[in-house]
Amino acid sequence: MRDAPGEIEVERAIAEIRAGRPIILHENGERILALAAEALDSFYCESFERLGRADARLALSGPRLRRLGAQRREAGAVAMPALDAARAHALAFDSDARLDAPAAALSALEECALELMRLAQVLPAAIIAGAVGAEAVFARPLEAARANVVAYRPARLAALRIVSRARVPLEGAPDSEFVVFRGGEGLRDQVAIVIGAPNFARPVNVRLHSACLTGDLFGSLKCDCGDQLRYTARFMAENGGGVLLYLDQEGRGNGLANKIRAYDLQARGFDTYDADETLGFDNDQRRFSFAAEMLKLLGARRVQVLTNNPEKIDALTQGGLEVVADQRIMGRRNTHNVRYLAAKRDKAGHLIDLDRAPA
């Protein structure tokens, strides 16, 4: 299957944003320059100045504006008549900053710029300016149509497909097959691990597991992910098989760099959700509809879900699967992760009974 031109354009725009270069977004003849706020440095300040206009704005997400003390709950933009990297960075991600100018509503193109920042997994804050004359100052900036950005997430869902599969024996689950999907969410492939020989005519054990490099791979003590992952594989191997989805949603969909930024804030006293909000993110960026599609592509219809997260159960039901049971799955509790687990229980409604977590 070949990607549509609109998707290719957005993928290139995402690569430009991640590389810290400005792009042009356009719709109906209106054109704006957008640059990730975290990429603004003295070079870009001078370049924007050479454009010769004082119309630059800093677009910020709703959570970030709330953190800065704004009254409005929606995303908004602050005027940046003289582009100043220190001020822009403070407003975009400094944990102590307060709003120093009023925030105005975003235009549709500015909203679109923030959506691209999220897709690119940089901080959701963008420097915006009119694009007139941009070609003379920046080396051929990439252009993307707003309509293509709007269509991108649904197109990625519809494009979900299996690209390869092979048997990979795992410790504790030697009869396992890795099935790799393209599409869905994030910047990389998705993985389904079919463990044993699940009988799809009966309710199948499933787990939706969002990637956690620190916990899954390195055994970080800050979360319970690694334990949950390994427990799931063993449980499925010993209980009639199952399907373990490993989803490219590092840091609740914020990406690894932003998760580590959040960890730095947590080291300074913020809990997991306050840290994300300080960086401009909602409690949870993840959507799980593509995970339901992966399960259906593998033949699952009725499922027993291993999770403490009610949103995953709702997403599978909404995605057309019949959830016949759900089962709690706890990693070990320790002094480093107990606050994280309690925050998930208290602020996000996860069904966590800390007294029953093994120490």
Ligand X SMILES: Nc1nc2c(ncn2[C@@H]2O[C@H](COP(=O)(O)OP(=O)(O)OP(=O)(O)O)[C@@H](O)[C@H]2O)c(=O)[nH]1
The residues assigned a catalytic role are 284, 286
Question: Contact at 8 Å (CB) between 136 and 52?
Answer: no
CA separation for the pair 59, 69 (Å, rounded):
15
225 binds Zn ion (CB under 5 A): yes
DSSP 309-350: -HHHHHHHHHTT-EEEEEE-------TTTHHHHHHHHHHH--
**Candidates 33-41, 102-110, 208-216, 297-305 — which segment interacts with Zn ion by CB under 5 A?**
208-216
Instruction: Please report whether residue 250 would count as binding ligand X according to CB under 6 A.
Output: yes
What binding mask, one character per residue, do residues 209-228 give for ligand X by CB under 6 A, x or -?
A: xxxx----------x-x--x
The closest alpha carbon to 223, from 308, 356, 331, belongs to: 331
By CB under 6 A, is residue 232 in contact with ligand X? no
- Check: CB of residue 284 under 8 Å from CB of residue 252: yes
Segment lying near Zn ion (by CB under 5 A), choices 223-231, 283-291, 293-301, 348-356: 223-231
**Closest C-alpha among 186, 195, 181 to residue 229:** 195
> Measured on CA atoms in the order 162, 321, 168, 253, is the torsion positive or negative?
positive
Pick out residues in 252-271 that bind ligand X (CB under 6 A): 252, 254, 259, 262
Q: In this chain, which stretch among 13-21, 207-215, 259-267, 320-328 interacts with Zn ion, using CB under 5 A?
A: 207-215
List the single partner that 304 binds among Zn ion, ligand X, none, CB under 5 to 8 Å by kind. Answer: none
With binding defined as CB under 6 A, does residue 315 bind ligand X? Answer: no
Which residue, 18 or 259, has its beta carbon nearer to ligand X?
259
- Interface with Zn ion, residue 212, by CB under 5 A: yes
- Does the protein bind Zn ion through residue 247 (CB under 5 A)? no
Nearest alpha-carbon partner for 123 in 3, 40, 215: 40
Cα 87 from Cα 81, distance rounded (Å): 12
d(CA 349, CA 353): 11
Stretches 42-50, 96-104, 115-123, 303-311: which one binds ligand X (CB under 6 A)? 303-311
**Site residues for ligand X per CB under 6 A:** 209-212, 223, 225, 228, 249-252, 254, 259, 262, 272, 276, 307-309, 312, 344, 350
**Site residues for Zn ion per CB under 5 A:** 212, 215, 223, 225
